[in-house]
Amino acid sequence: MESKTIKCFTIYEKFRSEFYCEQSPQNILYEFSKFINSKDLGVISIDYIYDIYEIVDEKKWLFSKLKYGI
């Protein structure tokens, strides 16, 4: 499977409140990328500032879109 890059602001919208409840304000940009990668959504964060992600597992990504309404 070739990698697919997507731009998806909805991921940030869905997980920002959970992220900010768990994190301190230091290194927010780097930490959000680690947080999203740890959620095992089938995507990894490539560039948090521009909401760019790489799909690494199509099935998990499809399930995540259905589960979270992304």
What are the boundaries of each domain within the chain? 4-68
DSSP secondary structure of 17-50: HHHHHH--STTHHHHHHHHHHHT--SEEEEETTT
Residues 4-34: pLDDT tens digits?
A: 999 989 998 898 888 877 655 565 656 788 8
DSSP state of 51: T
Give the residue from 47, 43, 46 showing the smallest Cα distance to 62.
Answer: 43
What does pTM read for this prediction?
A: 0.78
